Amino acid sequence: MLTVHTLADWRAQLAAAPAAPIFVPTMGNLHDGHLALIRRARELSGDSGAPVVASIFVNRLQFGPNEDFDTYPRTLQRDQELLASAGCDILFAPSEAELYPQPQTYKVVPPTELADILEGAFRPGFFTGVCTVVHKLFNIIQPQAAVFGKKDYQQLMVIRNMVQQMALPIAIHGGETLRADDGLALSSRNGYLSADERAEAVQLQAALRRVREQVLAARQAGVATVEALHGFEQGATQALDARGWRTDYVLVRRQRDLLVPDAAELNAAEPLVILAASKLGRTRLIDNLEV
């Protein structure tokens, strides 16, 4: 696997590539979940000759002032080995000066109804930071397709929406969330957990599963209402907080636009997703479960 650090070196690679790349953007500190995205990209490439390209860039624009930008683990050498083992052809790993040679004052601002709810309500400006860097990376890499994990469910939806509205010729693929044996979704931030917190962390997914059972039972009985949903959401929040978590949200939403389902949709087959974010000690974990 080749690693390039500059736009000029990347553009030379792009000019020589037999087909437009399949792209997996990351912030590094990789785990098996990322590697599954690389393998998905490899499958999408098939025997077309399209190179599988990953990027590693810790994007300052998407971190809030009290978030972990400075301490976010930078593990380039290990990441390179992992990417190579998963079938990545080229890694684009620019420095901050290379990607943002001037302050990035042109930004891609996603619509408030999609980007200021859920994660966006607790991380102001997060999706503007994500869209700005992803749009810029798309302009640089010029991929035909890109793969994003479903663990960051809202991010995947925002990116799909951006690509559609901006008419970018890029197919967006969602990769399934990889989980540890006990059900904890793999995440770069799991490394921040102490041993006790790691054992407790599985409760987030357990809470989502309980909400899913409640929704399915209410749906089957034809008695699902928006009020009942609020009850399930609050019950899950209180159960986590009683164990010492500090929950930002547990919410049941429509898969298609992340808005609140109405009663008719709840009792029909409207695809739903339960999304949660909660803090355990100093670590904020997110997860989701489709219904």
Q: Give the active site residues.
A: 34
CB of 238 to ligand PAF, least distance (A): 30
Q: Which stretch binds ligand PAF (CB under 6 A): 130-138, 189-197, 222-230, 275-283?
A: 130-138
Q: Does 59 bind ligand PAF (CB under 6 A)?
A: yes
Number of residues lying near ligand PAF (CB under 6 A): 10
Compute the distance between CA of residue 256 and CA of residue 272 in angstroms, rounded to an integer. Answer: 8
CB of 242 to ligand PAF, least distance (A): 31
Q: Which of 4, 23, 26, 237 binds ligand PAF (CB under 6 A)?
A: 26
Q: How many CA atoms lie within 13 A of 192 on its CB side?
A: 14
Q: Does 288 bind ligand PAF (CB under 6 A)?
A: no
Q: Does 50 bind ligand PAF (CB under 6 A)?
A: no
Q: Which of 25, 94, 125, 175 binds ligand PAF (CB under 6 A)?
A: 25
Q: Which of 119, 152, 233, 287 binds ligand PAF (CB under 6 A)?
A: 152
Compute the distance between CA of residue 42 and CA of residue 27 in angstroms, rounded to an integer. Answer: 19
| Neighbour-count burial for 196-209, b at 16+ CB within 10 Å, e otherwise | ebbebbbbbbebbe
Q: Which stretch binds ligand PAF (CB under 6 A): 9-17, 23-31, 41-49, 169-177?
A: 23-31
Q: Give the 3-state secondary structure percentages of the chain, helix then strand then coil, rounded to 5.
A: 45, 20, 35
CB of 258 to ligand PAF, least distance (A): 17
Nearer to ligand PAF (CB atom), residue 179 or residue 210 = 179
> 18 burial class (0-12, 13-18, 19+ CB within 10 angstroms)?
exposed
DSSP 8-state assignment for residue 277:
E
Q: Which stretch binds ligand PAF (CB under 6 A): 129-137, 168-176, 203-211, 266-274?
A: 129-137
Q: Does 134 bind ligand PAF (CB under 6 A)?
A: yes
- Give the number of other Cβ atoms within 10 Å of residue 241's Cβ: 12
Q: Does 193 bind ligand PAF (CB under 6 A)?
A: no
Nearer to ligand PAF (CB atom), residue 23 or residue 245 = 23
Closest-CA residue to 25 (of 151, 204, 148): 148
Closest-CA residue to 258 (of 276, 275, 242): 275
CB of 133 to ligand PAF, least distance (A): 5
Within 8 A by CB and 6+ apart from 147, the residues are 22, 23, 24, 37, 40, 41, 44, 173, 174, 175
Q: Does 275 bind ligand PAF (CB under 6 A)?
A: no
Q: Does 133 bind ligand PAF (CB under 6 A)?
A: yes
Using CB under 6 A, list all residues that contact ligand PAF. Answer: 25-27, 59, 62, 130, 133-134, 152, 155
